[in-house]
């Protein structure tokens, strides 16, 4: 037995992996990732796999970027962890300042946490407490979007719309309102042109706000891409209209940019395309270049001021995590932002994103590809049994999973979302790598009829 085979043996005995039916693991080996370089992962035998999903939508500048590695090493020598209540430190201060300057107008304060779920939980709790302290104690409910995803903690799940993941836990959720997903491919109103439809899917939002607006604290959504919901890309004008409606009702707009932030959609933040002013911005994943866990929730000075008072008034935000503002993660995040500046990442992205978006179009001719969608460095292919009727495959067939297994044979990590196969590429992918990834993915999807 090789060293890594021994390790796999121990893994099977003691580990429990996330979002994984461990029974599958008894039948099929998992990919043992030994090391990574650039946008490739290498298994125990040295075989390369493109990290086509950026290691769960995190990696921004590729694995092992020297600038980020050096920053984390230097920070390690100086200060690796300290509690963040009653203390402060250089990387957290500098990072907060840079995030404020990069984020949409009006956001002035940064609250650090550990991951994407906590970044959203913080926004939900802050919004809730804000209204209590601002003289609107009835504003206790949130509105979220079907097929939205904000994490796996109870609060984040309460406002998620991925029943397949979270349906079982419904009895634990707090009550909220849900509006339809702007899922143009499966538009309930049967419109086929997302660029010119009447945005009928926003009517329920207007109705809830008209009838119950005084009970609503905030609306939470992922701007432009409902990622875990199936890489559902929706029009900018939906986001702009939604923001206008929310604003008109004096309700908080909570943007969850955990997946879309840091360039993935072609602009630094997805919200930038809509020119809107959120009250909360939730960040994680790409924040540290994707190399260390960290979450951040940005909010306005107005929200902040509602919590700032004499201690005995009881307005403190009693929330925090052990690793809040961790110095290593903050140093990685600062280095990642430096890479954006020094390597002209956003400028270089224009051509790369075009390459991917143009390159994905040829997949429309594949018989089992019902929808092709994408934005920036994201491209998604919805696999259907019948493209005419848009009928899905029987979930028991696990088409997405079979495609994933076939992708591994071609050196790709095509981890699916149900029957949606997608690419969520690191911004550092070169045009040549994008072409190669598209070619290999095309070959895999050409064989869907065989794996079905
Ligand atoms: C939009 C969005 N919000 C929140 C989360 C939760 O982040 P985490 O897994 O770091 O808790 C995710 C994770 O995929 C996400 O895509």
Judged on CB neighbours under 10 Å (0-12, 13-18, 19+), 307 is middle
Structure token pair of residue 266: 């072609």
pLDDT tens profile 413-432: 999 999 999 999 999 999 99
Distance 367 CA to ligand 1 centre (A): 32
Marked catalytic residue, from 256, 279, 371, 419: 256
238-243 mean pLDDT: 98
What's the CA gap between 220 and 150, in Å, rounded? Answer: 9
Cβ of residue 179 lying under 6 Å from some atom of ligand 1: no
Using pLDDT thresholds of 50, 70 and 90, give the confidence band for residue 395.
very high
What is the rounded distance in angstroms from the CA atom of residue 132 to the CA atom of residue 95? 30
Q: Which atom of ligand 1 is nearest to the CA of 151?
A: 6
Using most ligand atoms within 8 A of CB, pick from 17, 55, 56, 117 the residue to mutate for ligand 1.
Answer: 117
- Summarize the confidence of residues 159-171 as an average pLDDT: 92
* C-alpha to C-alpha distance for 366 and 388, rounded to whole angstroms: 13
Average pLDDT, the chain: 96
**Structural Rg of the chain based on CA atoms:** 22
Residue 147 has pLDDT above 80, yes or no: yes
3-class state of residue 145 by DSSP: strand
Ligand 1 pocket mutation, candidates 54, 115, 153, 258, criterion most atoms within 8 A of CB: 258
pTM value is 0.97
Q: For 65-115, how does the pLDDT look when each residue is reduced to its tens digit (9 = 90+)?
A: 999 999 999 999 999 999 999 999 999 999 999 999 999 999 999 999 999
Query: What percentage of residues in the chain have a pLDDT greater than 70?
Result: 99
176-193 pLDDT tens trace = 999 999 999 999 788 877
Is the Cβ–Cβ distance between 261 and 287 less than 8 Å? yes
Report the separation in Å between the CA atom of 295 and the middle of ligand 1, taken as the mean of its atom positions. Answer: 10
Tell me if residue 149 is catalytic: yes
Q: What CA–CA distance (Å, rounded) separates 224 from 16?
A: 33
Active site includes 311?
Answer: no
The pLDDT of residue 193? 78
Quickly state the pLDDT bin for 452 (edges 50, 70, 90): low
Q: Is 19 a catalytic residue?
A: yes
Which of these is catalytic: 146, 234, 285, 442?
A: 285
261 Cα–ligand 1 center, Å? 11
**Which pLDDT tens digit goes with each residue over 20-33?**
999 988 888 889 99
Flag the least confident range among 176-190, 228-242, 250-264, 438-452. 438-452
What's the CA-to-centroid distance between 117 and ligand 1, angstroms? Answer: 6
Q: What's the pLDDT at 95?
A: 98
Q: Is 50 a catalytic residue?
A: no
Neighbours of 3 (CB within 10 A): 10
Please report, in angstroms and rounded to a whole number, the separation of the first and last CA atoms in the chain.
34
For the cut 90, the answer to whether the pLDDT of residue 412 exceeds it is: yes
What is the tens place of the pLDDT at every residue in 194-217? 778 999 999 999 999 999 999 999
Select which of 19, 77, 193, 310 is catalytic.
19
Closest CA to 342 of 97, 41, 71, 50: 71
Position 18 confidence tier, pLDDT thresholds 50, 70, 90: very high
* CA distances in angstroms from 288 to 99, 166, 258, listed in the order given: 12, 28, 12
Query: With a 6 A CB cut-off, is 54 part of the ligand 1 pocket?
Result: no
Instruction: Give dist(CA 224, CA 380) in Å, integer.
Output: 14
**What is the model's pLDDT at position 287?**
98
What six digits make up the tokens of 57? 């939508």
pLDDT band for position 451 (50/70/90)? low
Q: Can you give the pLDDT at residue 188?
A: 79
Question: What φ, ψ does residue 19 adopt, rounded to 5°?
Answer: 45, 45
Domains of the chain by start residue, with CATH: 31-61+346-451 (3.90.1150.10), 67-342 (3.40.640.10)
What distances in angstroms separate CA 321 from CA 90, 111, 153, 155, 442, one per listed residue? Answer: 19, 11, 14, 16, 44
Residue 13 gets the label, from left (phi > 0), alpha (psi -120 to 50) or beta, of alpha
């Amino acid at each position: 037995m090789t060293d890594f085979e021994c390790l796999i043996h121990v893994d099977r005995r003691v580990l429990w992996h996330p979002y994984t039916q461990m029974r599958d693991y008894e039948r099929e080996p998992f990919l043992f990732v030994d090391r990574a370089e650039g946008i490739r992962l290498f298994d125990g035998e040295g075989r390369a796999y493109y990290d086509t999903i950026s290691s769960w939508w995190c990696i921004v500048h590729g694995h092992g970027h020297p600038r980020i590695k050096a920053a984390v090493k230097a920070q390690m020598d100086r200060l690796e962890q300290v509690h963040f209540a009653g203390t402060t430190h250089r990387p957290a201060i500098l990072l907060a300042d840079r995030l404020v300057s990069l984020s949409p107008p009006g956001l002035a304060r940064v609250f650090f946490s550990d991951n994407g779920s906590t970044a959203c939980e913080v926004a939900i709790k802050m919004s809730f407490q804000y209204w209590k302290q601002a003289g609107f104690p009835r504003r206790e409910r949130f509105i979220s979007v079907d097929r939205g995803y904000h994490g796996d903690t109870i609060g984040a799940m309460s406002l998620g719309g991925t029943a397949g993941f979270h349906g079982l836990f419904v009895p634990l959720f707090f009550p909220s309102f849900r509006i339809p997903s702007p899922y143009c491919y499966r538009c309930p109103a049967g419109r086929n042109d997302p660029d010119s439809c009447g945005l009928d899917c926003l009517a329920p939002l207007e109705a809830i706000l008209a009838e119950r607006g005084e009970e609503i604290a905030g609306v939470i959504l992922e701007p432009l891409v409902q990622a875990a919901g199936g890489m559902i890309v929706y029009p900018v004008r939906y986001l702009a209209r939604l923001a206008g409606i929310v604003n008109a009702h004096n309700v908080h707009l909570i943007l969850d940019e955990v997946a879309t932030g840091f360039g993935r959609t072609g602009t630094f933040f997805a919200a930038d395309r809509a020119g809107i002013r959120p009250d909360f911005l939730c960040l994680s994943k790409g924040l540290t270049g994707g190399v260390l866990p960290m979450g951040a929730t940005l909010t306005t000075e107005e929200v902040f001021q509602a919590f700032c008072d004499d201690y005995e008034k009881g307005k403190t935000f009693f929330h925090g995590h052990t690793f809040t503002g961790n110095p290593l993660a903050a140093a990685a995040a600062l280095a990642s932002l430096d890479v954006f500046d020094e390597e002209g990442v956003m400028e270089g992205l224009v051509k790369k994103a075009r390459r991917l978006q143009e390159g994905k179009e040829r997949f429309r001719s594949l018989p089992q590809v019902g929808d092709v969608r994408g934005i920036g460095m994201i491209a998604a292919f919805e696999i259907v049994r019948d493209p005419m009727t848009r009928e899905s495959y029987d979930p028991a067939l696990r088409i997405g999973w079979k495609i994933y297994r076939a992708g591994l044979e071609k050196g790709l990590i095509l981890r699916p979302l149900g029957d949606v196969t997608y690419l969520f590429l690191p911004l550092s992918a070169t045009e040549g790598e994008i072409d190669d990834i598209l070619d290999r993915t095309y070959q895999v999807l050409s064989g869907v009829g065989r794996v079905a």
